């Protein structure tokens, strides 16, 4: 997906890499690659939860295990400077609807070993745990304005602008993490025999990925709509992204 240019103080939409197919073998479950970039949509997650087989009843229903943690390390936010004639020129540039930065969280889901279990009715259940980690291709960037002979007050104004823009980008990762952590840890499917259960499990994993992407896309859209891509960050308790010339 090509980068989309946002409006004032808005970051571009990160790249989404969708898998072309995932082969889950009974003997060896390979890594499942999915570039995920946006955040939580509860409707899709609820649909995903509803499709999973209910745990065996033992008097007290066992809670459904969630992913809960994201492995790896977030990328550091890189800064790129852009020079203007003066502060007013920088403000005009920001307000013109240009690219000022982006958050591009990418996650790598990995499948564990497939487990099979015979059900009381004679069918086979296949299940696999999915773990998630930041992919090394994740990035975050902000463009910081500068101009010659900046006064002390102007430097303070730019520092406040940069801090607020960075905070907006960081929260993109927070929102994405929230969706990933809420996903079910285990994907399950049943079949007439182990191979049939594995085939059905593959279909469930494919749907799991699709629903995860939908949830992430919906949540990120909601976040950027609510915050105006940072311009109204105070709507979520942050500082509005705004450069005010002294």
Taking the chain, what is the end-to-end CA distance rounded to the nearest angstrom? 40
Of residues 34 and 174, more confidence is placed in: 174
Other C-beta atoms lying within 10 Å of the C-beta of residue 12: 18
Ordered by start, the domain boundaries in the chain are 12-80+102-143+170-230
Residue among 210, 217, 87 at smallest CA distance from 148: 87
What's the average model confidence in pLDDT over 94-110?
89
Percent of the chain topping pLDDT 70: 75
Interatomic CA distance for residues 212 and 219, integer angstroms: 11
DSSP 34-84: ----S---HHHHHHHHHHSPPPPPSSSPPPPPB----BS-PPPPEEEEEE-
Residue 13 has a pLDDT of 26
Tell me which DSSP letter residue 175 carries: H
Indicate the pLDDT class of residue 134, thresholds 50, 70 and 90. very high
**Burial grade of 101 (CB within 10 A; 0-12, 13-18, 19 or more):** buried
| β-bridge pairing 10-11 and 124-134 | unpaired
Q: Which residues of 187-217 are buried (b: 16+ CB within 10 A; e: fewer)?
A: bbbbbeebeebbebbbebbbebbebbbbbbb
Average pLDDT, the chain: 79
* 15 Cβ neighbours under 8 A, 6+ residues apart: 1, 3, 35, 37, 104, 106
Helices (H) and strands (E) in the chain, counts: 4, 8
pLDDT at 244 over 80: yes
pTM of the predicted model as reported, rounded to 2 decimal places: 0.74
């Amino acid at each position: 997906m090509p980068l989309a240019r946002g409006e004032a103080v808005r970051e571009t939409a990160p790249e989404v890499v969708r898998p072309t197919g995932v082969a889950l073998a009974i003997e060896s479950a390979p890594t499942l690659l999915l570039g995920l970039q946006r955040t939580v949509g509860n409707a899709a997650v609820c649909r995903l939860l509803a499709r999973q087989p209910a745990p065996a009843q033992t008097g007290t229903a066992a809670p459904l295990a969630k992913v809960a943690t994201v492995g790896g390390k977030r990328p550091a936010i890189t800064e790129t400077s852009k020079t203007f004639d003066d502060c007013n020129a920088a403000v005009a540039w920001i307000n013109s609807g240009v690219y000022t930065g982006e958050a591009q969280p990418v996650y790598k889901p990995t499948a564990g070993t497939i487990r099979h279990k015979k059900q009381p009715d004679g069918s086979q259940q296949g299940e696999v745990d999915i773990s998630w980690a930041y992919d090394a291709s994740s990035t975050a960037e902000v463009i910081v304005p500068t101009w010659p002979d900046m006064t002390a007050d102007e430097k303070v104004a730019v520092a406040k602008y940069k801090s607020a823009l960075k905070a907006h980008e960081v929260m993109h990762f927070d929102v994405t993490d929230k969706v990933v952590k809420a996903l079910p840890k285990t994907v399950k499917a049943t079949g007439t025999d182990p191979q049939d259960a594995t085939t059905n499990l593959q279909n469930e994993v494919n749907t799991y990925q699709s629903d995860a992407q939908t949830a992430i896309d919906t949540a990120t859209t909601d976040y950027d709509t609510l915050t105006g891509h940072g311009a109204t960050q105070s709507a979520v308790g942050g500082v509005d992204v705004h450069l005010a010339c002294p």
